[in-house]
Amino acid sequence: MSSAPILNEPAGAAQHAIVTSARAPLHARIAFVVETARRLHQYGTAAPRLESAVDKLAERLGLCAQVWSSPTAIIISFTDLGDSSRVAETTQVIRLSPGDIDLRHLVEVNEIADKVIAGELDIGEGSHLLQTLSDRIGRRTRAREVLCFGLVSATLAVLMRGAWADVAAAGCIGLIVGTLADIAARSQRMRLALEALSALIATVLATQISLYITPLTLKVTVLASLIVLFPGMMLTTAVRELSTRHLVSGVARFADAVQTLIKLAFGTLVANELCKLLGLVPPVATPAPVPDWSVWAALPFGSYGFAVLFRAAWRDFPLVMGAAAFGYAITYFGSRQFGAEFGVFLAGATMGALSNLYARATNRPGALVREPGIILLVPGSLGFLTVSAIVGRDVFLGIHTAASLFAILVSLVAGLLFGDLIAAPRRAL
């Protein structure tokens, strides 16, 4: 039987799938929908797409679902599709931690749901497969992710046009930040202090290197070494949710992003004061920036790093890397021709439309193109600079940076919305 993806618009095959799947017991259908929703949330799906996907899945299993999603919980009320009263028979409340992007598992969840709807898998088998998806990360994978912290940090130092010394220092400090993140993933106490501790260590190390080894552009080095921890994607998702009237989720996610930025800013502030107290004040240096060609030479390495950190499957690496590089290239040339805001808008619209076209053509999640395609556009560093300026009592600089942050965020989100108009999505993911 041919696959009828859960996130496509209803068609004849989908209607047949509803009739077939509705024969399963009510509790089995509800359990499968709940587990699918939990997994989609866990693997970084935003509220609008999660709610749309779960709603369509429930409909094709003969259920009517009312879904409410936030970064920390999902509430789903179920009734039978044939019940005209539409009074909820069962309500499930699922308490969750905020999810992280995991493209490999997102694809696997999508494929399992497609097979269940198409009749290729029994609902019980599908629920079992979802529950047994392994979230454990092997040592090799963890080591690869730590290395990619350094690789992405070095790449961002190049893209920010730092000096070669800044690139090397950012890469080394990024490795240390990656090691801290790996430790924090297995320690609740460490996880809560990760951002502040990483910012403190990165700032102290950059200051020491600049003072005793080679002069650095400290701002570039610190920003690049912490770039993976910046909540740029979270800020973008929050504004997208607000723009689609998912107000509770959007506000909660925005607050989460702000608290992350505050931790990072506080860590750098403490480090700067500590260095001043110890007399570790390096001279102001302006080393020569890297040449233009190095940007394009570094881009494939950064794209590979993001493919690893997004946990894409090996077969999807060329797609994910190509999307990240293409999104940056559009922004680069668009910004030079029309200005930064329009360049970001153009890249967002292009990657949004391409992700929808990819999903329509392959029946796979468009997130494989969309998320890596905008990762180098999200304004996480601007958010950090805004909070750092305000914490450092430079309010006017903070307001000026916040205005730039707002302009970039609006441009990116508007581009993604226009991308959906250019090529209508047939899949919620």
pLDDT, tens digit, for every residue of 371-403? Answer: 999 998 887 767 777 767 765 666 667 677 888
Provide the percentage of residues in the chain whose pLDDT is more than 70: 89
Range with the poorest average pLDDT among 1-15, 56-70, 199-213 = 1-15
Q: Is 244 a domain residue?
A: no
Determine the pLDDT at residue 305: 96
Last residue of a domain, one of 286, 304, 322: 304
Same domain, 387 and 429: yes
Banded pLDDT at 102 (limits 50, 70, 90): very high
Residues 6 or more apart whose Cβ sits within 8 Å of residue 41: 50, 69, 74, 94, 96, 99
How does pLDDT run across 129-173, given as a tens digit for each residue? 998 887 778 889 899 999 999 999 999 999 989 999 999 999 999
Determine the pLDDT at residue 249: 93
Query: Residue 285's domain spans which residues?
Result: 137-230+263-304
Give the integer Cα–Cα distance in Å for 319 and 383: 29
pTM: 0.89
Q: Does position 422 have pLDDT exceeding 60, yes or no? A: yes
Q: Does position 303 have pLDDT exceeding 60, yes or no? A: yes
The alpha carbon of residue 56 and the mean position of all alpha carbons in its chain are separated, in whole angstroms, by: 23
| Higher pLDDT pick, 186 / 2 | 186
Banded pLDDT at 23 (limits 50, 70, 90): low
Q: How many other CB atoms sit within 10 Å of the CB of residue 347?
A: 29
Determine the pLDDT at residue 20: 52
Rounded mean pLDDT, 243-272: 91
**Residue whose token pair is 């749309």:** 52
Give the integer Cα–Cα distance in Å for 178 and 81: 48
Q: Taking all residues of the chain, what is their mean pLDDT, rounded to a whole number?
A: 87
Banded pLDDT at 280 (limits 50, 70, 90): confident
Residues 6 or more apart whose Cβ sits within 8 Å of residue 136: none
Q: Is 255 a domain residue?
A: no
Q: Is 328 a domain residue?
A: yes
Same domain, 271 and 155: yes
Report the number of distinct structural domains present in the chain: 3
Same domain, 426 and 386: yes
Q: Is 251 a domain residue?
A: no
Q: Is 5 a domain residue?
A: no
The residues with which 10 forms a beta bridge, in sequence order, are none
Same domain, 181 and 221: yes
Determine the pLDDT at residue 137: 82
Same domain, 344 and 329: yes
Rounded mean pLDDT, 287-296: 91
Same domain, 146 and 270: yes
Provide the percentage of residues in the chain whose pLDDT is more than 90: 54
Same domain, 126 and 143: no
Last residue of a domain, one of 284, 304, 324: 304
Q: Does position 337 have pLDDT exceeding 70, yes or no? A: yes
Determine the pLDDT at residue 86: 66
Q: Among residues 306, 358, 360, 357, which one has the least CA distance to residue 328?
A: 306
Same domain, 114 and 204: no
Q: Does position 195 have pLDDT exceeding 80, yes or no? A: yes
Last residue of a domain, one of 106, 131, 156: 131
Same domain, 196 and 108: no
Determine the pLDDT at residue 9: 47
Give the integer Cα–Cα distance in Å for 76 and 35: 11
Q: Among residues 42, 411, 66, 421, which one has the least CA distance to residue 240?
A: 411
Q: Is 3 a domain residue?
A: no
Q: Among residues 233, 422, 426, 239, which one has the least CA distance to residue 346?
A: 422
Give the integer Cα–Cα distance in Å for 388 and 403: 15
**Six token digits for residue 368:** 């494989």
CB 372 within 8 A of CB 320: yes
Banded pLDDT at 14 (limits 50, 70, 90): very low
Q: Is 2 a domain residue?
A: no
Same domain, 175 and 298: yes
Determine the pLDDT at residue 138: 82
How does pLDDT run across 40-91, given as a tens digit for each residue? 999 999 999 999 999 989 888 888 889 999 999 999 999 887 665 667 778 8
Same domain, 295 and 172: yes
Q: Does position 426 have pLDDT exceeding 50, yes or no? A: yes
Q: Does position 330 have pLDDT exceeding 80, yes or no? A: yes
Q: Among residues 412, 374, 42, 68, which one has the least CA distance to residue 249?
A: 68
Same domain, 170 and 317: no
Q: Is 240 a domain residue?
A: no
